[in-house]
Chains A and B, each alone.
Chain A
Amino acid sequence: MSQKISPQNPPSPSPGNHHRALADVLKSRLIFVTGKGGTGKSAVSQAIARHLATQAEVLGSGTKKILWVTFEDPTLPPNGLETIAQGKFYQLQRLNIDSMASFEEYIGLKLGLPALAGLFVGNKVIRYLAKAAPGLHEMVLLGKLWHERNHYDQIVADMPSSGYTVTMIQSTQNFSKLFSGGPLSKDATAMIETFLDPVWTSFLIVSLSEEMPLVESLELSDQLRKILPGTQPGLLVNRIYPALKNLEASLGDPASWESPFAKDAKDFLEKKRILDQVNLRTWQGRQYSKLPYVDPSQGIAEVSKSLAQEIQSQVATP
């Protein structure tokens, strides 16, 4: 079965490798982990944060501060900060960025006088605008992360799914133009400059070895490269099933299979392995990393610890 990209979807992903290797992605100060919904961005971003923290332990040079950022997780307090792991040489914290809390914080910062900021933010038209203005919400979320950049050695962000990540950056760019002259415009422009600088910023697109996520990842990569020229997003395939130890007869090409359903668990695993190979042709000629499917029953923290070890071993050996 050949890889098909819908003709209604021009431009089709640009060929060639515009992608940083995982080890290189992990060197940036701000690491944005994005990708389609359901690909395991949370576990992967947390794993990267854990890897970076424990890496500091290995190197043992001064205390390293790592921040793992989530956006508007309703189960966590708005702008709540907590330490999730600590060692002799590192501190790993989690910050749950909330747009309303960040907006108030930011206005306070910009207007200087807390009383004035209170009057401003409490005003009903401003509250209305803050909620209704397209993109403001998104820019504020990114703005909060950007403001934290000098307080940590590295920040790893569990970004919202593909389209929304693009919106966040696009909004920042829109506002840098819309708010021409004002102090908000200056910050928005500075944010974009930070995101354009590969020393400061890297993107990692998490996918599964399935056709649509793989295609959409390349489209996301192109979109990011369009908004932030020169960006080389890293690519990662998550949740690769382990191959069967004892293979039976070769099953041939997926298109030749009688049905899209698997007969049993063994048949599923074997077909999945073939399908992975076929699907990953979509990324042929590009640099990417793979992570195994880790038993999820112990919860995301445990999954991220296993993945952190895997990342460790992958970036250690060139």
Chain B
Amino acid sequence: MINDLLKSKKVVIVCGTGGVGKTTLSAALAIQGARLGKNTLVITMDPAKRLATSLGLDAASDSAQGESALLGDEPLDLTDRLKAIDPTIPGSLHAIMPDTRSSFERFFKTLSPHPEKVDRLIQSPLFESFAKEFSGTNEYMAMKRLYLLNESGRYDLIILDTPPSRNTLGFLDAPKILSRLFEEKLIQWLVIPANKILAVGMRKVMGLLEKLTGSNFMTELMSFAQSLFEVRFAFTENLKRVIALLESKDVGFVLAMNLTPDSWAEIEHFVESVRLHRFRFEGVLINRSIGDLAMSKNPENDPGLDLIQKLQDREKSSMDQIRSKLGDQVLARLPELARDVHSIGDLMRISVAMQGQSKTN
């Protein structure tokens, strides 16, 4: 099932809340892609750099190979590391961790007709908090980068590990939230010189705003709005192209999740949201399941085993519901691991388990 997905799509977007193991699953999907002969890239937006850790790209192993072995803003070729474990792997593996802050600056500069003004804007504390904190910018930059990397034609398969968000829909809703920021009519109110055409009511409101926030903020806000106003067409054009890619049949969305009593509600919500965006829902990846841990036949009156039994019962009712509704859209169900993933070797074992052809135990 996983293989069908990886064979038929050029881009697989892995959504899910924090802590479900999205980054590990994304990396394992990419490795599976390489095992199927694809030139594969995994993009992670995780600020916690989990991908670097799970790929084993850390100080100890990289000092000998210098800067080039660090995961960063340019794709890093990991094919040799993969082939060191299994030389028969026909595809390639690359990973990238885009720097959203600098790419957001770059993005503004390329869009703006006055790059020198952008330099000034970037110094503004308002921009600082915008680039760093505005919900939607990270997601948007991830999409933009995905678009460019896909356009480059260098990869047959791109796996996008979406930025962590408060809920599973964070990634899907980001363009809508950002578009609202660029809503022309509204920015106009802020950009057009105050005394000219502002209606009495609006002038009053602006006066109140200034009273509350101080004049300094109003100046900052106007110049920020001016910059947004200048790049609005370019932004909208960019967004259209990105959305066209996301809507195309080459792109599939999957939901990574852990099993809880709320799982089915989460899936329903996600599926509906993907459908409304006219994207394609391909299935769920269930991670950290303890359902397959065999219990001993004789009851042992052990608190740990009792807890596991209860957790398994809880999982089972949730799993039964999901299976009955999704059928083979349950792409894989992976167990809770007994150790943290630190190597391409362990990621490979996960991709083998994901494929469901053999058990590595």
Whether A135 pairs with B129 at a CB distance below 8 angstroms is: yes
Interface of B is mostly: helix
Contacts of A163 in B (CB 8 A): 47, 164
The minimal Cβ–Cβ distance linking A151 to chain B, given in whole angstroms, is 24
Contacts of A271 in B (CB 8 A): 338-339
Q: Say if the beta carbon of A80 comes within 8 Å of chain B.
A: no
Contacts of A293 in B (CB 8 A): 307
Contacts of B86 in A (CB 8 A): none
Bound: A263/B313 CA distance, A: 19
Task: Check A244/B338 contact, CB under 8 A, given A37-B164, A125-B189.
Answer: no
Number of interface residues of B (CB under 8 A): 84
Whether A161 pairs with B338 at a CB distance below 8 angstroms is: no
Q: Say if the beta carbon of A310 comes within 8 Å of chain B.
A: no
Give which listed residue, A211, A246, A261, contacts B340 with CB less than 8 A.
Answer: A211
Whether A182 pairs with B217 at a CB distance below 8 angstroms is: yes
Q: Say if the beta carbon of A180 comes within 8 Å of chain B.
A: yes
Contacts of A132 in B (CB 8 A): 134, 180-181
Q: At the interface with chain A, which of B17-25, B113-121, B248-256, B278-286? A: B17-25
Whether A182 pairs with B212 at a CB distance below 8 angstroms is: yes
Bound: A272/B308 CA distance, A: 12
Task: Check A38/B18 contact, CB under 8 A, given A4-B342, A174-B129.
Answer: yes
Bound: A179/B60 CA distance, A: 46
Task: Check A269/B304 contact, CB under 8 A, given A131-B180, A264-B293.
Answer: yes
Whether B205 pairs with A38 at a CB distance below 8 angstroms is: no
Q: Which residue from chain A places its CB closest to the CB of B310 in the assembled complex?
A: A295
Task: Check A178/B126 contact, CB under 8 A, given A167-B133, A279-B340.
Answer: yes
Bound: A116/B189 CA distance, A: 20
Q: At the interface with chain B, which of A5-13, A59-67, A85-93, A227-235? A: A5-13
Q: Say if the beta carbon of A266 comes within 8 Å of chain B.
A: yes
Q: Which residue from chain B places its CB closest to the CB of A297 in the assembled complex?
A: B314
Whether B125 pairs with A37 at a CB distance below 8 angstroms is: no
Task: Check A265/B201 contact, CB under 8 A, given A177-B125, A178-B216.
Answer: no
Chain A window 83-101, contacts with chain B (Cβ cutoff 8 Å), 1 for yes, 0 for no:
0000000000000000000
Give which listed residue, B72, B202, B336, B350, contacts A268 with CB less than 8 A.
Answer: B336
Give which listed residue, A4, A124, A264, contacts B59 with CB less than 8 A.
Answer: A4
Give which listed residue, A2, A126, A265, A266, contacts B205 with CB less than 8 A.
Answer: A126
Q: Say if the beta carbon of A285 comes within 8 Å of chain B.
A: no
Bound: A213/B21 CA distance, A: 12
Number of interface residues of A (CB under 8 A): 80
Whether A269 pairs with B215 at a CB distance below 8 angstroms is: no
Contacts of A135 in B (CB 8 A): 129, 133-134
Chain A window 234-267, contacts with chain B (Cβ cutoff 8 Å), 1 for yes, 0 for no:
0000000111111000000011010111111111
Whether A4 pairs with B58 at a CB distance below 8 angstroms is: yes
Q: Which residue from chain A places its CB closest to the CB of B314 in the assembled complex?
A: A297
Q: Say if the beta carbon of B305 comes within 8 Å of chain A.
A: yes
Whether B180 pairs with A180 at a CB distance below 8 angstroms is: no
Q: Say if the beta carbon of B79 comes within 8 Å of chain A.
A: no
Q: Which residue from chain B places its CB closest to the CB of A107 in the assembled complex?
A: B212
Q: Say if the beta carbon of A153 comes within 8 Å of chain B.
A: no
Contacts of B302 in A (CB 8 A): 242, 244-246
Whether B349 pairs with A260 at a CB distance below 8 angstroms is: yes
Give which listed residue, B72, B164, B338, B349, contacts A8 with CB less than 8 A.
Answer: B72
Contacts of A302 in B (CB 8 A): none
Give which listed residue, B47, B132, B215, contacts A181 with CB less than 8 A.
Answer: B215
